[in-house]
Amino acid sequence: MRFPGASWARAFLVGVVGVLAGCAPQAPPGRVLVVGIDGADPGLVERWTEAGELPNLAALAQTGGRGLLQSHHPLLSPRVWTSMATGKIPLRHGIHRWVRVGRDHAFHLYRSVDRRGHALWNIASEAGLSVAVVNWLITHPPEKLRGVMISDFAIPGERQARQDLGRSMVGGHGPVRPPAGTAVTVYPAEWAVRFKRLAAQALVPEGVTDTSSFFGPGLVKDEVEKSFRADVLAARAAFEIERELRPDLMMVYWHGVDRISHFLWSAMEPPEAYPEALQLTPDQRERHAAALLSHYRAVDLLLGRLLEGYGPRDLVLVVSDHGFEALTQSRFGITGGHETALAENGIVYARGPGIEPGSLIEDMSVNDVTPTVLAWLGLPLGADMDGRPAGFVELEAIETIATYDTTEIEHVGEGGDTVEAQILDQLRTLGYVD
């Protein structure tokens, strides 16, 4: 089967000419959904899909392809997810870890304004496509798009959680300054209001089990509950955007699997892999394993609900940034991590025109996600991108331009700009900001 990207590239150029002449632009070949599941481990996903525990991922593998997604070290989420969103290695996009040293010699959390160059959502938006970005890492402050951006600080409590993580990263080397700017975390203003309402409802979709129900009071329950609520809220926001806007490109990120795996991973390893102080009792081992499976099931169910809006003409990509391995020297009860080659690979599941059912996706890296989507949409690749389209994209020739980084990316909430003021005024009027 021919992949539609190459032919649509010519149609896109015709559409641009049509816009200049006052006509409507050419529609893309289908819509695109990119779902990021932080820390989804290839071994666990394979085991549980084959056991029938993750039916929606299993269906994607049957109707499309699956494989390993090669990541790069150090396996730190901000750098890897930004590589997925830009097609560039960290030396080019500028996001290296969770914190950076500023000109004031203090530590600061990385933010979207620290990213050098355009992300996939900027490119698609500037091409005239409608875009929705939900909770993707390093998207605060939000960027102005032809659509909706719910930044990674929109989830209640996430700003403070990121501050705490930043402090743990730098140890006693100094404080981590709070992010500058305002509390604006969503663009545009009407979706800020709607997201606020969703967050206040705390509803759990039917059939989804609260992972924290496996634990009594304590640190583990608190961390698991926060992660579960965050994933559910991001999913519900995506459902609402999908129902109302049906964007040409939707990008959704869930962090819960990663965060709870850090605490529950020892249940996935032989007890003797850990020193006695970190070994679980048989009861703890059973509950931790059941809880981790429950969260994977929850994410699979949320994915299935999101997939209901996408048909055979659309491209669906489900990706993760790395797997997990045992950590035997750890603090705060953390027993799982991702530091060596054992955890280097994430997952990629793909479905769409040109992807053979049941196929194996080989030699795809985190740098290839954005080039793959661009090729499928018929848009040129930037010559300054480090990735390439995945092997299932059949192109006679890869069209390129020097770079997409020639226009300004506008952020909301920076420096008291007028758009920020308008958003805050609207939120105050509706009673959501004091």
Take residue 257 and report the two structure tokens written for it: 């699997």
Which pairs count as long-range contacts for 429-433, CB under 8 Å and 24+ apart, including other chains?
A: 430/193, 432/192, 432/193, 432/196, 433/183
In this prediction, residue 9 carries a pLDDT of 38
Take residue 194 and report the two structure tokens written for it: 């709607």
Instruction: Supply the pTM of this predicted model.
Output: 0.87
**What crossing angle do the helices spanning 282-307 and 256-264 adopt, rounded to 10°?**
170
| Pairwise CA distance, residues 297 & 22, whole Å | 48
φ/ψ (deg, to 5) at 143: -110, 150
* Cβ–Cβ < 8 Å for 151, 186: yes
In this prediction, residue 177 carries a pLDDT of 60
Burial per residue of 167-190, b for 16 or more beta-carbon CB atoms within 10 angstroms, e otherwise = beeeeeeeebeebebbebbbbbbe
In this prediction, residue 164 carries a pLDDT of 59
HEC per residue, the chain? CCCCHHHHHHHHHHHHHHHHCCCCCCCCCCCEEEEEECCCCHHHHHHHHHCCCCHHHHHHHHHCEEEEEECCCCCCHHHHHHHHHHCCCHHHHCCCCCEEECCCCCEEECCHHHCCCCCHHHHHHHCCCCEEEECCCCCCCCECCCEEEECCCCCCCHHHHHHHHHHHHHCCCCCEECCCCCCCCEECHHHHHHHHHHHHHCCCCCCCCCHHHHCCCCHHHHHHHHHHHHHHHHHHHHHHHHHHHCCCEEEEEECHHHHHHHHHHHHHCCHHHCCHHHCCCHHHHHHHHHHHHHHHHHHHHHHHHHHCCCCCCCEEEEECCCCCEECCCCCCCCCEECCCHHHCEEEEEEECCCCCCCEEEEEEEHHHHHHHHHHHHCCCEECCCCCCCCCCCCCCCCCEECCCCCCCCCECCCCCCHHHHHHHHHHHHCCCCC
* Cβ–Cβ < 8 Å for 347, 40: yes
Query: Which amino acid would we find at residue 306?
Result: L
Q: Mean pLDDT in each 10-residue stretch from start to end of the chain (434 residues)?
A: 36 37 56 98 97 98 97 94 98 88 76 95 98 96 96 80 57 58 83 94 89 89 93 97 97 97 95 89 94 97 97 97 89 87 97 95 97 95 96 83 96 56 45 44
- Nearest Cα to 122, choosing from 88, 161, 159? 88
* Cβ–Cβ < 8 Å for 86, 368: no
* Cβ–Cβ < 8 Å for 81, 96: no
Name every residue whose Cβ is closer than 8 Å to that of residue 324 and which is 6 or more positions away in sequence.
39, 41, 44, 261, 265, 268, 336, 337, 338, 343
Give the burial class of 413: count Cβ atoms within 10 A of its Cβ; 0-12 exposed, 13-18 middle, 19 or more buried: buried
| Pairwise CA distance, residues 90 & 323, whole Å | 20
Quickly tell me which residue has 């604006």 as its tokens.
184
The CATH classification of domain 29-429, taken from the options 3.40.720.10, 2.30.110.10, 3.40.50.720, 3.30.200.20: 3.40.720.10
